Structure 1
Amino acid sequence: MVSKWGKSFRTLVVLLALTAIAAACGGGPKPGADAPPAGDKAAKASLTDNANDPVELTVYYMFAGSSYDAFMQGYGNFIKQKYPNYTFKFISTGKGSTLEDMVTSNTDIDIFISTTSTLTSVVDKKLDYDITELVDKYGYDLNRFESTPLDLLRKASNGKLLGLPFRVNTLGLYYNKDLFDKFGVPYLRDGMTWDEVYEAAGQLTRQDGGVQYYGFAARPVANLFKLNPYSQAMVDPKTHQAALDNDRWKSIFNNFLRFYQLPGYDKELTTTVKAFDLFTKEKRVAILSQQNSDYLSLKDAQGLNWDVVTYPTYKDLPGVNPQPEPVYFLISANSKHKDEAFKAISVILSDEVQLEKSKQGAPSPLKSKAIRDAYGTASTDMAGKNTKALVPSSYAEALVVDPYVNQAVTPLQNAFTSVVAGEKDLNTALREANELTNKGIQSLAGK
């Protein structure tokens, strides 16, 4: 999970850096650019107040692989345009800078950048802070946000609002148009079911001229399970026990196993790197499931003629999309600058910045149709693409985040790989994954 989010953060940095360049080339603020949206005048007036005293905000990124410069390009420069008296100290987790190290050294943190997977660490260290009082103080309008990411955060924190989402990732379906043309298969279309995608994948999985082509792959396979539209839990949030050995998980597995059991597949196709290389470099995978925001990773794929469609649905769940995977700004309980931190966050979540981010292909947490419709429109990488397909109109109910859920991810993916390889049958693989997950939970709970 950490490596994936490290990649996602770097993708986000690129997107926001492009936005900053676009803003700089615009010749300064436009007339009316700071005008408050209707119904939010009181909040905007309050958030605009600035004492002009120097303020340093410490931002802690809950994953490895980032830097101060990356943060400033991605966030800090936007904030400084509105609050020039703000400066930033940026810390990314790593050797000597883990959250435990921060607590031991009594380092005050103002803002966390976190997903729900790392939220439990913040709560365990008693660094969580309910921002409801700041929302009330500034009259901040939460109705601007899609409800699911906010509900997910509240579920994960016993009803508290520990922060605000600034980006909402989910799954997207990408395909190589040239392979469809090569084998005379109709292009994918919006609104397809998995059964229909499987039919297309079957026609595209073949040998041609001594070269093996594959209809479908996922990057990573684990996301097919974590973000499943049934909202099927891997760990029971009430008992904190593994919940993998049941008919629903067998059904979810079978939906994807059939792709990987087409002639010519082997377990190597279940690895993230191999799946990506086969799609982007070797161009032997026709359809790829990956995060909607990962389109930017395709920009260096020379000669890849790709497009996207809405994510497939299950026949018994018509219209139900995958779960969201939001990224949040959290305010720390030990922050001495909670108001300033909230104001900084409000800049990134302003309609103006969110619109620019959406144009560059960053999925926004806001409801605004104008922001959603602008998705990808300013990105040369998205020119001519079916960009709106990457921003679902709604999300499946997000799972309550169990503090032990990460103990299930690797056993579940390994179970899938073992069935693909023919090493285990489905029942055995899921039963053993369940047992391994419970052992991991017991070990973690005993620390």
Structure 2
Amino acid sequence: MKINKKVMNAAAFTVIVGLLAGCGSNTVNPSNGASPDGGKSPAGEVKLKMTVLPDDLDEFQAAYEEFQKENPNIKVEFETIPQKQYYDKLRLQLSSGEAIDLFGGNMDSFLDTGILEELDDYIKQSNTDVSGFGPLYDTLKVNGKVYGLPYRKSNWMLYYNKTLFDQAGVDYPKADMTWDEFRELAQKMTKGSGADKIYGAYLQQWPQTWYMQAVQSGASIIDKDLTPFHKALQLRVDMEKDGSIMTWSEQVTTSAHYNSAFQKGNVAMNLIGDWHIAQLRKAEDEGKISFDWDVVPIPHPEGVPANTSLATPVSVMINKNSKHKEEAYKVLEFMTGPKGAKVFAANGLLTGFTNEEIKQAYIGDGSRKPENIHYFLEQKEYPEYPLLPGVKNIVVNTIFTQEGELALSGEQTVDKAIERISDRVQKEWADKFGKDFAAK
């Protein structure tokens, strides 16, 4: 999701070449001489293989350089897989017994494979400091066990085009703004038509951009009572009718995307995650943006505190079939702990572990936008969805997406959409996974 802003080094270039060639998996060989055998060299060096998301490869390599200073005997060979194939391909590799020691990603995508090593004993024996994860640590537990620790997380923010607001003579979005106020502001900033139209806001096609206000209030997408989600979907439908946001149908037919739409300069407010900062900074470096921009917290429901956001942790996990679990845990502990987090934060990632030093690394020296980046570090967070098997693929990507799109395209009412979502969640997810897994 994040777009890397750095000039590619030779290793990263090797990965890109592999992607263009249509490879399903790509290997990056660090200069330390790690080899893919996953064993110990004659000198006693332990060699590990680690698969990471392609957008996070540079950051892992940077953190690994620091790790090597303290652990010269542990050599890590990084691999990556194209984003669209990542989870399906990695699940297949793990189930087929490929010698992968560690891997990164959304933990819920692997819980049903039985391939994850339980980490509780390692955390206890190593006296791992988990305080920096805050409440996020407990939300990661499944059936009382920890199977991964987050090296980063994705939180949401409202990005806005300051230049458009200045030209319109309208006050900037407030840091404490309800969803109804957001709708009113979007209407006020909408003007023109056709290719010259200024949209008051942009909401990506994803169901998260409409169901988030229900989650902000503490509701879960697998609740039996989905009443809070009715109001959330209705707001999206109403804003399309207002003309203040691009309709879902137009987004689909024009292949619209939040990043290019906002960078074009005719969208006043863009509701999207923290990774958008890197995308906008990259565009600025390339001279593609000619307007000023900043961020404020996403709108919130009435009665919910300002700057309440959704958070999706992205974790490092260990293959239970690894032959070098202790060494693999050292890598995991470093990457997700304070030392690794400092490296990730300095490269623009919102980390799972945080402390004052990491916060300062994330904020930087103030020379880059957004001016109000500090809001990311002050958020109250709710998990975007429970980290349980099938929730992302079945509930989010299938049920909420399909039924929400039918409502947005006018093929069914909001009432019917929520009714069908509730029914399908129980039949397609709860009956399959609900009895075997429980959060916390």
TM-score range, shorter chain: 0.7 to 0.9
- Superposition TM-score, scaled by structure 1 size: 0.75
In the alignment, which residue of structure 1 is the partner of 2:315?
328
TM-score, reference length from structure 2: 0.76
Amino acid at match of 1:267: W
Give 2:233's match in structure 1, choosing from 253, 272, 277: 253
Q: Is the 8 A contact 2:67 2:334 kept in 1?
A: yes
Partner of 2:297: 310
Structure 2 unaligned spans of 5+: 10-42, 434-440
- Count of residue correspondences: 386
SS at match of 1:109: coil
Secondary structure of 2:197 counterpart: strand
User: 2:129–2:337: 8 Å Cα contact kept in structure 1?
Assistant: no
Q: Shift in Å at residue 58 of structure 1?
A: 1.7
Equivalence map 1:337-356=2 (5 Å): 337-356=324-343
Q: Which moved more, 1:130-139 or 1:341-350?
A: 341-350
In the TM superposition, what whole-angstrom CA distance separates every residue of 1:15-56 from its partner, at most 9, and x where no partner exists? 7989xxxxxxxxxxxxxxxxxxxxxxxxxxxxxxxxx83111
Residue 284 (structure 1) aligned to one of 253, 266, 283: 266
Q: Is the 8 A contact 1:170 1:323 kept in 2?
A: yes
1:361 to 328, 345, 348: 348
Q: Which residue of 1 aligns with 2:178?
A: 193
SS in 1 for 2:110: helix
Structure 2 distance, partners of 1:443, 1:132, is 29
The 1:286–1:269 alpha-carbon spacing in structure 2 relative to 1, beyond 3 Å, is farther
| Residue in structure 1 matching 2:44, options 40, 53, 72 | 53
- 1:395 and 2:376 correspond: no
Residues 122-137 of structure 1 aligned to structure 2 (within 5 Å): 124-137=112-125
Moved more, 346-355 or 108-117: 346-355
| Amino acid in the other structure paired with 2:314 | V
**How do residues 4-19 of structure 1 correspond to structure 2 at under 5 angstroms?**
7-8=1-2, 11=3, 14=5
Instruction: Judge conservation of contact 1:173–1:309 (CA < 8 Å) in 2.
Output: yes
Matched ranges for 1:16-415 at <5 A: 53-61=44-52, 65=54, 70=58, 73-92=61-80, 94=85, 97-104=89-96, 106-120=97-111, 124-148=112-136, 150-154=137-141, 157-207=142-192, 211-225=196-210, 227=212, 228-236=215-223, 243=224, 246-263=226-243, 265-268=246-249, 274-276=256-258, 279-298=261-280, 299-300=282-283, 301-319=288-306, 321-378=308-365, 382-383=368-369, 385-396=371-382, 399-405=385-391, 406-409=393-396, 410-415=398-403
Uncovered stretches (5+) of structure 1, i.e. residues with no partner: 1-6, 19-51, 237-242
Residue equivalent to 1:27: none
Letter in 2 for 1:249: F
State the alpha-carbon separation in 2 of the partners of residues 128 and 16 from structure 1: 34
Q: Secondary structure at the match of 2:69?
A: helix
Give 1:319 deviation, angstroms: 3.8
- Note if contact 2:150-2:352 (Cα within 8 Å) is conserved in structure 1: yes
1:439 is displaced (CA, Å) by 6.8
| Cα separation, 2, equivalents of 1:270 and 1:350 | 40
Q: CA deviation at 1:225?
A: 5.0
Question: Shift in Å at residue 127 of structure 1?
Answer: 1.5
Deviation at residue 420 of structure 1 after TM alignment: 3.5
Deviations 1:206-261 (A, max 9, x none): 2169722211112353223565213433335xxxxxx5x74221022123333222
CA contact (8 A) 1:113 1:327 kept: yes
Would the aligned equivalents of 2:201 and 2:268 in 1 still touch at CA under 8 Å? yes
- Distance (Å, rounded) in 2 between the aligned partners of 1:273 and 1:390: 29
- Given residue 296 of structure 2, which amino acid in structure 1 is its aligned partner? V
What SS does the aligned partner of 1:171 have? strand
Q: Which moved more, 1:357-366 or 1:72-81?
A: 72-81
Percent pairwise identity:
21
Whole-angstrom CA distance in 1 between matches of 2:266 and 2:401 = 23
What is the CA-CA distance between 1:263 and the residue it aligns to?
2.9
1:269 CA drift (Å): 5.4
SS at structure 2 position matched to 1:232: coil
Cα distance change of structure 1 residues 253 and 60 upon mapping to structure 2, 3 Å threshold:
same
Whether contact under 8 Å (2:63, 2:340) holds in the other structure is no
Alpha-carbon distance, 1:437 to partner: 5.5
Q: Which segment is superposed worse, 261-270 or 307-316?
A: 261-270
The farther-off stretch of 207-216 and 69-78 is 69-78
